[in-house]
Amino acid sequence: MMYLLKIEWLKIKNYKAFLFISLFFLIGIFATNYIVYSVFHNIVNKSDAALLLSNFNPYDFEHVWQTVSYASGYLLMLPSLLLIILVTNEYTFRTSRQNIIDGSSREEYANVKMMMALIVAGTSTLFVVLCALVFAYSSGKDFSITGFSHVGYFFLKALSYNIIAIFISTLIKRTGFAIGIFFIYMGAENIIAQFLDVLSMKLKSSKNIDFGSLGDYLPMNSSDGLLSFPPTPLKSFTTNSLPTEYTWIVLGFAIFYLLLFSWLVRRLIIKKDL
Amino acid sequence: MNVLSINNISKNYGKVTALRNVSFSVPRGSVFGILGPNGSGKTTLLGIIMDVLKATGGTYQLFDENPNNQLRKRIGTLLETPNFYHYLSAVQNLKITAGIKQRGENDIERVLEIVSLTNRKNSIFSNYSLGMKQRLAIAAALLGDPEVLVLDEPTNGLDPVGIAEIRELIRLLASQGKTIIMASHMLDEVEKVCSHVAILKYGELITFGNVDEIFINDDIVEVASSDIEQLKDALKLMPGNLKVEIKGNIVQITFPVGTANLENVNQFCFEKGIVLSQLQIRKKSLESKFMELTN
């Protein structure tokens, strides 16, 4: 597998889009978190609500893992975009065919693309950890691992997005269309999830049936649903009407979709004409 | 030993049949031409052998073994179009090819020299002309000095000098004992370089075998006289049951290869009281033979 990864590296190391998007993502993570940090320090903590929040700092250790994972999650479309470009490039340049002709097996070709999704998700997570450490240490509190599970949820979300991106790219093959479909699907799933969440609330309030947030059981939202902003003192006012969070079920769904899309990608590459 | 054996390969695209029960084998050391008009299934067949297309039916063997990717690494292939990363240079692209083949990284300079791309080796692929792209694809196929080369329309996009160079290269490789499988719709290309040929038409194998046996170039003698009909009737009486046809103002007599003798024809006509105004021999063109086979 190492020699295959080395070949992938040869493909991307001189690719400007790869360098540009990676840099933009790294800066984006710090910038997004800095905006949230600034909002809390300069606006929320100076408002009347500050009394209720009682010096709540989402960038202290214990909260920082969750806050940074949640805020950075909104930027995960960038590494997905990068993967869409890289995978569809192989079809545009017909190098997907040439790689097989030159002696890669279809299984190796599929596996290395999945491995790329894993590495990109891992690197994105590393950026998040780095960012969290920078913000938390600058707050001056002692290091704590509490809440680090949210970094794991971020990794799962990154991997889910990446695998869905690779699936759409393998299916559609054309860069522009694949990017369009990815974002349309993302938007459509969010709209459907909103409807399902409203339905969940209605079921809970009228019939006392609590399945959790049904919207969280959709492919992208299942990994989205695991990430949330740390529970501020204000949140206790709003949670009463929401369905109970079934973290393990949502986690199960996220892993199920991950396996499903990985299987579909392998099947598309191994069984179809290239 | 056969480098490639194809057994009843078929390929359908929906209702369209691209290949129908094609079977032949390529002996080691041959220059094997796959010849056919556009759309006859040549590239589809090579695509199946290289595992980029899935056959609807049939099997094939590489080096007398069931095909796998390790065996493909022993074959240098140019299939249909030059496929490279547009944003990378020739050298960077060839490093990827060498990486996949797991050999040939030290061979990059040599193959670029063969295809005369050394002075443009660091230019990015998208800036190459069509001919340069084709040359790079040939360089990639030569990388690691493979024992078998599969070349699909290798002279596509090349200028006349480039075409001559590639033909010379193919002859040189063949003289080194390499097996070359070449798909082409260019008849003279096949005639000039191939030892064996398979002819495809509408996805069916018309014939295959030794080039000399398939393209037996009959001798054609063209004669003319003042009375063309009388000449034709007289020539029909010549011994050997020859084919005699009127073509415009001349009569064509088809002799088996190497048997035409102008003196005999002239003597025969003279004895019949016919004075010839024209008498010449010409080889039957490969093109007309090909048309005969495919129509």
ipTM of the modeled complex: 0.87
**What is the domain-level CATH number for residue B138?**
3.40.50.300
Contact A11 B96 (CB under 8 A): yes
Size of chain A, expressed as the number of residues it contains: 274
Cβ B84 vs Cβ A95: under 8 Å? yes
Look at residue A166 in the predicted model and tell me its pLDDT.
97
Shared-domain flag, residues B206 and B228:
no
Look at residue B61 in the predicted model and tell me its pLDDT.
95
Confidence of residue A224 (pLDDT cuts 50, 70, 90): confident
Q: Which residues of A73-93 are buried (b: 16+ CB within 10 A; e: fewer)?
A: bebbbbbbbbbbbbbbbbbeb
Nearest residue on chain A to B89, alpha-carbon basis? A14
- The answer to whether residue A209 scores a pLDDT higher than 80 is no
Shared-domain flag, residues B78 and B177:
yes
Higher pLDDT, A238 or B50: B50
Over residues B47-68, mean pLDDT: 94
Higher pLDDT, B157 or A162: A162
Query: A270 in contact with B at a CB cutoff of 8 Å?
Result: no
Last residue of a domain, one of B195, B214, B233: B214
Q: How far apart are CA B138 and CA B156, in angstroms?
A: 11
User: Which position has the token pair 């984006």?
Assistant: A28
> Domain range for residue B251?
219-294
Look at residue A173 in the predicted model and tell me its pLDDT.
94
Look at residue A243 in the predicted model and tell me its pLDDT.
66
Shared-domain flag, residues B203 and B101:
yes
Cα–Cα distances (Å) from A249 to A25, A150, A193, A231, A253, in that order, read 30, 16, 16, 20, 6
Indicate the residue of A7, A108, A272 with minimum beta-carbon distance to B96.
A7
What residues have CB less than 8 Å from A220, skipping those under 6 apart?
A160, A161, A164, A185, A186, A189, A190
Name the E strands within chain B.
2-13, 16-27, 31-35, 57-62, 75-78, 148-152, 179-184, 196-201, 204-210, 219-224, 243-247, 250-255, 278-283
- For every residue of chain A, which 3-state class applies, written as one string? CHHHHHHHHHHHCCCHHHHHHHHHHHHHHHHHHHHHHHHHHHHHHHCCHHHHHCCCCCCCCCCHHHHHHHHHHCCCHHHHHHHHHHHHHHHHCCHHHHHHHHCCCHHHHHHHHHHHHHHHHHHHHHHHHHHHHHHHHHHCCCCCCCCCHHHHHHHHHHHHHHHHHHHHHHHHCCHHHHHHHHHHHHHHHHHHHHHHHHHHHHHHHHHCCCCCCHHHHCHHHHHHCCCCCCCCHHHHHCHHHCCCCCHHHHHHHHHHHHHHHHHHHHHHHHHCCC
Give percent of chain B above pLDDT 90: 51
Confidence of residue B211 (pLDDT cuts 50, 70, 90): confident
Confidence of residue A236 (pLDDT cuts 50, 70, 90): low
Last residue of a domain, one of B196, B214, B232: B214
Shared-domain flag, residues B43 and B166:
yes
Over residues A174-201, mean pLDDT: 92
Over residues B247-255, mean pLDDT: 87
- The answer to whether residue A45 scores a pLDDT higher than 70 is no
- The answer to whether residue A235 scores a pLDDT higher than 60 is no
Over residues A262-270, mean pLDDT: 95
Chain A CB contacts of B87 under 8 Å are 14-16
Q: pLDDT (tens digit, 9 = 90+) per residue, A60-111?
A: 887 889 889 999 999 999 999 999 999 999 999 999 999 999 999 999 999 9
Look at residue B285 in the predicted model and tell me its pLDDT.
60
Confidence of residue A55 (pLDDT cuts 50, 70, 90): low
Cα–Cα distances (Å) from A81 to A165, A245, B150, in that order, read 7, 30, 36
Q: How far apart are CA A133 and CA A143, in angstroms?
A: 9
Strand ranges across the sheet with B278-283 = B243-247, B250-255, B219-224, B278-283
In 3D space, the residue among A155, A125, A132, A127 whose CA is nearest the CA of residue A58 turns out to be A132
Indicate the residue of B77, B81, B92 with minimum beta-carbon distance to A94.
B81
**Residue A101, both tokens:** 């002709």
* Torsional sign, CA B82, B83, B87, B92: negative
Cβ B133 vs Cβ B157: under 8 Å? yes
Over residues A23-37, mean pLDDT: 92
How deeply is B160 buried, as exposed, middle or buried, from its count of CB atoms within 10 A (0-12, 13-18, 19+)?
exposed
Q: How far apart are CA A245 and CA A86, in angstroms?
A: 36
Confidence of residue A203 (pLDDT cuts 50, 70, 90): confident
Look at residue B249 in the predicted model and tell me its pLDDT.
87
Min Cα distance B32 → chain A (Å) is: 19
Contact A106 B72 (CB under 8 A): no
Contact B69 A104 (CB under 8 A): yes
Over residues B200-219, mean pLDDT: 82
How deeply is B178 buried, as exposed, middle or buried, from its count of CB atoms within 10 A (0-12, 13-18, 19+)?
buried
- The answer to whether residue B107 scores a pLDDT higher than 90 is yes
Q: pLDDT (tens digit, 9 = 90+) per residue, A124-149?
A: 999 999 999 998 888 777 788 888 88
**What is the domain-level CATH number for residue B288?**
3.30.70.100
Over residues B199-215, mean pLDDT: 85
- Where on the phi/psi map is residue B209: left (φ > 0), alpha (ψ -120 to 50), or beta? left
In 3D space, the residue among B38, B130, B140 whose CA is nearest the CA of residue B91 turns out to be B140
Last residue of a domain, one of B214, B246, B267: B214
Q: pLDDT (tens digit, 9 = 90+) per residue, A110-126?
A: 999 999 999 999 999 99
Higher pLDDT, A204 or B98: B98
Indicate the pTM of the whole model: 0.85
Higher pLDDT, A223 or A67: A67
Look at residue A47 in the predicted model and tell me its pLDDT.
65
Over residues A250-256, mean pLDDT: 90
Higher pLDDT, A54 or B227: B227
Over residues B110-125, mean pLDDT: 94
Over residues A23-38, mean pLDDT: 91
Over residues A150-157, mean pLDDT: 92
Contact A93 B85 (CB under 8 A): yes
**Residue A159, both tokens:** 């991997």
Where in chain A are the domains?
2-9+58-271
Q: pLDDT (tens digit, 9 = 90+) per residue, B59-94?
A: 999 999 999 999 999 999 999 889 999 999 999 999
**Phi, psi dihedral angles at A76 (to 5 degrees):** -70, -10
Look at residue A170 in the predicted model and tell me its pLDDT.
96
Shared-domain flag, residues B180 and B225:
no
Q: What is the mean pLDDT of chain B?
A: 89
Cβ B244 vs Cβ B253: under 8 Å? yes
Look at residue A46 in the predicted model and tell me its pLDDT.
67
Cα–Cα distances (Å) from B272 to A73, A142, B223, B239, B277, in that order, read 100, 120, 14, 14, 15
Q: How far apart are CA A154 and CA A69, in angstroms?
A: 6
User: Which pairs count as long-range contacts for B205-209, CB under 8 Å and 24+ apart, including other chains?
Assistant: B205/B21, B205/B22, B205/B23, B205/B24, B206/B293, B206/B294, B207/B293, B208/B24
DSSP bridge pairs for B278: B224
Nearest residue on chain A to B151, alpha-carbon basis? A101
Q: Is B53 helix (H, G, I), strand (E, B) or coil?
A: coil
* Torsional sign, CA B45, B51, B52, B54: positive
Contact A95 B83 (CB under 8 A): yes
Domain count, chain B: 2
